[in-house]
Amino acid sequence: MKKEIKVAYEEFANLGELSEADRSLCLEAVKAMENSHSPYSKFRVGAALRLQSGKIVYGSNQENVAYPSGLCAERVALFAWGANHPHDPIVSMAVTAHTDQFELLQPTTPCGPCLQVIAECEQMQKQPFDMMLYCIKGAIWKTRGIQTFLPFLFFEDRLQ
């Protein structure tokens, strides 16, 4: 039996098509990129989380000369949330990227491990959050909840 999963997401042509709140969070993600430490990949990534209280939590990719020791912007932001604001739910997340090496023409999507961490953050706060992937010279992709990008996410509540 062949089965099929379809995913749906919204695409906006530019920041002007977003709500004020979404637009400002995308710009916070751009601001987050300023602290990217990416001397090896030269690929800067910024992430910003808007919490229910209105607080913004920032993350940027942090690389290390021992490559596996580094961490993606998304997980830097999400783990900072878990460590500092676990009872202030995430309402939305914006991610953006930039490199001088080549032109980015579509949004940069989170890697598999980051998607899995996003999934668990949604489980922890018992509600999904909006995710916006912002290409500075192109479109913004927006979804509600992680299921769009990770329909077969790993979750086993009997492990708790």
Q: Supply the residues annotated as catalytic.
A: 74
Q: How far is the CB of 72 from Zn ion (least distance, A)?
A: 3
Is the four-CA dihedral 34, 57, 22, 38 of positive or negative sign? positive
Q: How many Å apart are CA 146 and CA 116, to the nearest integer?
A: 9
Contact window for Zn ion (CB under 5 A) among 13-21, 49-57, 89-97, 109-117: 109-117
Q: How many Å apart are CA 8 and CA 10, to the nearest integer?
A: 7
Task: Tell me the per-residue interface mask from 26 to 65 with Zn ion, x by CB under 5 A, - otherwise.
Answer: ----------------------------------------
93: contact with Zn ion by CB under 5 A: no
Rg of the chain over Cα atoms, rounded to whole angstroms, equals 16
Q: How far is the CB of 55 from Zn ion (least distance, A)?
A: 22
Sequence-distant (6+) residues with CB within 8 A of 33 are 44, 45, 46, 60, 73, 96, 97, 98
Q: How far is the CB of 115 from Zn ion (least distance, A)?
A: 8
132: contact with Zn ion by CB under 5 A: no
Q: How many Å apart are CA 80 and CA 92, to the nearest integer?
A: 15
Q: Could you tell me where the DSSP H helices lie in the chain?
A: 20-33, 73-84, 112-125
List the one residue from 18, 76, 90, 114 that touches Zn ion (CB under 5 A).
Answer: 114
Residue holding tokens 């602290």?
35
List the one residue from 25, 51, 72, 140 that touches Zn ion (CB under 5 A).
Answer: 72
111: contact with Zn ion by CB under 5 A: yes
Q: How far is the CB of 116 from Zn ion (least distance, A)?
A: 9
Residue numbers at the binding site for Zn ion (CB under 5 A): 72, 111, 114
